[in-house]
Amino acid sequence: MSDQLIDLLGQMVIQSLLAIGGINVILGELQRVLVAENGWLTAQEFTSLFALAQASPGPNTLFVTLIGWRLFGIGGGLAATAVFVAPSIIIGAIVARAWTRWSEMRWFVVLRRGLVPMTVGLVVSSAILLTLAAASGPISWVITVAAATLSLTTRLPPVAILAIAAVVGVAGLG
């Protein structure tokens, strides 16, 4: 295994453990590590892979699969996915045994409610970073705002909104 692959897999374990509240929380951090710090991906590649993961059916975890694939081929994609979900399996197994006791404890409620402000801040940060990375001109801003508005005000599924955006792009407006 190359050093870079080991680095990447190590990062995925760390990222998985930091993703308290889901993968949206760590998008900003992933971008910092993969694009800004190590230069493994360009900002453009990062956002295209994210777009591709969003356009595929299935959990957002697929973004990690695609990052591994982009850097190390199919094997890299599978390995990145495996190490990214491994900590969850172990933690899930432990919690599954104790969960009914936990859910009634006061510290658990405190932890759950108390962490919300931080989670909100992290997801907003991820949203800002992705918006900036995707912004390539006035039209991309219009699309971002339109997608957010459609998602908030209509019942359109996310994939429909992405499909509309794809059509706009193919039509040459983007």
Partner 1 sequence: MFRCWLLIGVTGFGGVLPVVVHELVTRRRWMTHEEFSEVLAICQILPGPNIVNISVIFGMRIAGWAGALACLGGLLLLPVIIALTLAIIYSGVADVPAVQRATGTIASAAAGLLIAVALRLFWPQRGNPVAWGVGALVIVLVIGFRVPLLWVILGCAPLSIGLYLWKARTHV
Residue 92 phi, psi (nearest 5): -60, -40
Select the residue interacting with partner 1 from 8, 66, 79, 83 (CB under 8 A): 66
Smallest distance, partner 1 to C-beta of residue 122, A: 6
**Residues in region 9-48 near partner 1 by CB under 8 A:** 14, 16-24, 26-29, 32, 36, 47-48
Smallest distance, partner 1 to C-beta of residue 166, A: 4
**Token pair of 31 as six digits:** 């971008």
Select the residue interacting with partner 1 from 3, 39, 96, 138 (CB under 8 A): 96
Rounded CA-CA distance 116/159 in Å is 27
Q: Which C-beta is closer to partner 1: that of 4 or that of 44?
A: 44
Do the Cβ atoms of 126 and 25 come closer than 8 Å?
A: yes
**Residues in region 113-142 near partner 1 by CB under 8 A:** 113-131, 133-136, 139-141
Do the Cβ atoms of 54 and 162 come closer than 8 Å?
A: yes
**Token pair of 147 as six digits:** 């997608």
